[in-house]
A and B are shown apart, each in its own frame.
Chain A
Amino acid sequence: MRRTTLCLIMGIAFLAGGLFSQNVPKAEMPVLTTSAGQSPDVETLNIVMEEASLAYDYCDVPTAEMLGTGVGLGGKESGPGFHIEIKSDLAKFPKGTSYKTIVFAIGASLKGMGASGLTLESEEARLKSIIDTCKQKKIFIIAVHIGGESKRGAPKSDNERMIDAVAPYADYLIVTKDSNKDGRFTTIAKNKNIPISEVEYALGVVDILKQVFN
């Protein structure tokens, strides 16, 4: 039992080390965090950002137009089913500065989408327009999946559709091992030539984001 445990720990260390040295790309501030599917995973992402001491703007359901307004999101304010937090360092990045990076927390929640007045189809359409804008404006896309295997669901499930809507278009993927048990993200990364990092727990994303944003 002891030998197995030791091998497992060494394996994880090797895997993590390999991923860090080879695959961690660099991204720039300012950054917007958002949700793909409106699950609570975006809260986790925001907490990870705070733990990494990374200032960010957050909106759960931004439109492409809002994204285009840059830091401060055009002065929009939170309302029912719509949340905004402006935490970017305004001294460095005044309101209106174009975002350089967007981080998506992928995870579908019908409850969350319902609270935001979204359907699966309208969420997919919203994400497509956001991603199109990112590509147009050369905004770096990071996609994070930290919900684990049981929130993945069956093929064509709500969550899988959110993965399809975002992951293949990302510039960098960060996933927990539990989310990637079936190698789905590894396959996407390989097919689309996207760097990917795999971590054991959400806590591991803290160090990765610190490195990404240098």
Chain B
Amino acid sequence: MTTHTCDCGICDWTWRHVPAADHKPGEMRKIYHISQYKTWPPAEGLKWDLYKKDFTGTEITEVPHTYSYHHGMFGYMNEKQVAIGESTIGTQRKMINATPSAVLDLSMLTLLGMERGGTAREAIKIMGELAEKYGYGFNDDGEMLAVSDPNEVWIFEIMPVGPLWTPQSGKPGAIWCAQRVPDDQVSVCPNESRIGEIDLGKPDYFMASPNVISYAVDNGYYDPKSGKPFSWKRAYSPAEGSAVSTDGRRQRLWRFFNLVAPSQTFNPETPNMDFPFSIKPDKKLSVEDIMAITRDKSKGTRFDTTSGIRGGPFQNPNYYRNTRTICVSNVEYTTLTQCRRGLPDSIGGIIWISFGPQDTACYMPFYAGISEMPKSFAVGDHWTLNRDSARWAFDYTDFHVQPVYNAAIEDVKEAQAKYEAAVVARIPEIDKQALDLYNKKPAKAVQFLTGFCLNNAQTVIKAWWDLGDQLLVKYNHLAFYDSQKRTAGRIKTASPPWWIKAVKAMVVLLEPDKK
């Protein structure tokens, strides 16, 4: 399993399904610049049509067959169950290459990885080698991709090699490294490089570009005479600080390890670069465990954004922004991918998609083999409310949770139990039905799974529009309206005694004359 939160707050959130295709000899694949931080005005068209205006001028030889895949801001899961999650990690300033000599951005690389990669290793090799040949960067710098298939999960990190690189230099136009996560372990990438020491003598666990160490030596990022082993992250993407030293802005690394392996009592004062690459969790993690982790707000920890008066009377974890929790409020969407052995790829792969902040949203499953995504996933942006856009259903509910967070979030949890947990529980049954059909005729399984996924998404989206309506009525005027009994009253959690005390204390502080 991998999970990824796309959380820039102004970015594109649209999704489509890209079908498989056969290509004739001599066909070329056009390369486009695609910024992961951009939105495309819906009035002008769809993202995948509009980014073609940013043709780089470079075409690469097409492969005979390209796989089908699901496409959001990145390529996420293809028909071979190769899945991707992403995290921006940054790099040394001098390595950034924002010039057009870097033909490939990260988004474009992931599309090529999806089209051409039949396994995680294959996808990594394809993306890495293309980046070396055509140059990587332009809209992106240091980036990490979690690349998985039913057998392996790899952390792939890639960096540009500076703005003075040219294809005529004969040197690689990118530098990359990948480390496999041991089968019984978990890893996390909270916008920080995670690969430390590498051992290229273990090809089942490490892969890298040929310049992986030499570039660091040539540019003064690593001195072999220092007596210290080469560390990828310390050379190319150093990130100083700990959860505590950054006042919680870098607490997600510690928090993740603390959540999955509480027995190891990780110290939040540990510098982030000293945390291990991966660890064995205290127990095997389920899909629901991962969903819960993506919703984590560090409640009850020293980084709790609702402790004291931080969250206001309704304990809203989104007011106090100093701490960067795992779940933040400016999420475009979150993905959770499952690559499962023992099933045909079309059934084994599932990508769960949740729009908007995870705490108020609902994960919806989409199998690797489905032949289309909901039409409502392809439209909408941040600037115009669009009732035909799936994403807005979730923002609509999220907006109505904010004023009375600690009361309204309970209503959301009820809906999540009904529309999310129930579907998680149904997956084995859906798998079985799809497998029966697959054994008769694989195309039938595709039709069945497509119908199931689209119908479920439609149901959830309607439920979230309705939920937003219900919250508006129920907590209107910061009161509590019971539609069943047609009564009105106070919200149970409104104005707790500690809040009244806090207000009085602030009055004393700010208006001493009124003491």
Contact = CB atoms under 8 A, between A and B. Distances in A.
Say whether A and B bind each other. Answer: yes
Interface of A: 39-41, 43-44, 47-48, 51, 107, 110-111, 146-150, 176, 178, 200-203, 206
B96 A111 contact: no
B375 interface: no
Contacts of A148: 99-100, 138
15 contacts: A43-B98, A47-B163, A110-B10, A146-B99, A146-B163, A148-B138, A150-B53, A150-B100, A150-B138, A176-B99, A178-B100, A201-B100, A202-B99, A203-B101, A203-B163
Interface string B1-19: 0000000001000000000
Minimum-distance CB pairs A-B, first 3: A148-B100, A150-B54, A44-B163
Contacts of A146: 99, 163
A178 B97 CA distance: 15
Nearest to A149: B100
A202 B165 CA distance: 8
A148 B96 CA distance: 15
Contacts of A110: 10
Interface in B135-154: 138
A147 B163 CA distance: 10
A200 B164 CA distance: 11
A176 B98 CA distance: 13
Contacts of A39: 98
The winner among B54, B97, B163 for most chain A CB atoms within 10 A is: B163
A47 B94 contact: yes
A44 B162 CA distance: 8
A51 B164 contact: yes
A165 to B, nearest CB: 20
Given A111-B37, A150-B33, A47 B164 contact: yes
Interface in B21-69: 33, 37, 53-54, 56-57
A201 B93 contact: no
Interface string B151-163: 0000000000011
Contact of B164 (A40, A41, A48, A150): A48
B98 A206 contact: no
B98 A147 contact: yes
Given A111-B37, A150-B54, A203 B166 contact: yes
A107 B101 CA distance: 16
Nearest to B167: A201
A14 to B, nearest CB: 18
A47, A150, A203 — which one has the most chain B CB atoms within 10 A of its CB? A150
A44 B56 contact: no
Interface residues of B, number: 21
Contacts of B37: 111
Contacts of B97: 44
A43 B166 contact: no
Nearest to A206: B164
Contacts of A200: 166
Contacts of B94: 47
Given A202-B164, A203-B164, A44 B100 contact: no
Contacts of A47: 94, 162-164
B96 A40 contact: yes
Nearest to A110: B10
A149 B94 CA distance: 22
B89 to A, nearest CB: 16
Nearest to B32: A150
A48 B100 contact: no
B246 to A, nearest CB: 14
A39 to B, nearest CB: 7
Contacts of A201: 99-101, 164, 166
A48 B163 CA distance: 8
Contacts of A48: 163-164
Interface in B96-146: 96-101, 138
A148 B32 CA distance: 13
Nearest to A41: B98
A40 B166 contact: no
B56 A150 contact: yes
Contacts of A149: 54, 100
Contacts of A40: 96, 98
Given A43-B98, A44-B98, 10 more contacts: A40-B96, A44-B96, A47-B163, A51-B164, A149-B54, A149-B100, A150-B54, A178-B57, A200-B166, A203-B164
A3 B145 CA distance: 42
Contacts of A147: 98-100
Contacts of B96: 40, 43-44
Contacts of B101: 201-203
A148 B53 CA distance: 13
Contacts of B138: 148, 150
Nearest to A179: B100
Contacts of B99: 41, 44, 146-148, 176, 201-202
A163 B100 CA distance: 18
Contacts of B54: 149-150
B220 to A, nearest CB: 13
Nearest to B37: A111
Contacts of B164: 47-48, 51, 201-203, 206
Contacts of A176: 99-100
A44 B138 CA distance: 11
A41 B97 CA distance: 9
Contacts of A41: 98-99
A155 B163 CA distance: 26
A68 to B, nearest CB: 28
A197 B120 CA distance: 45
Nearest to A45: B163
Given A148-B100, A203-B164, A43 B56 contact: no
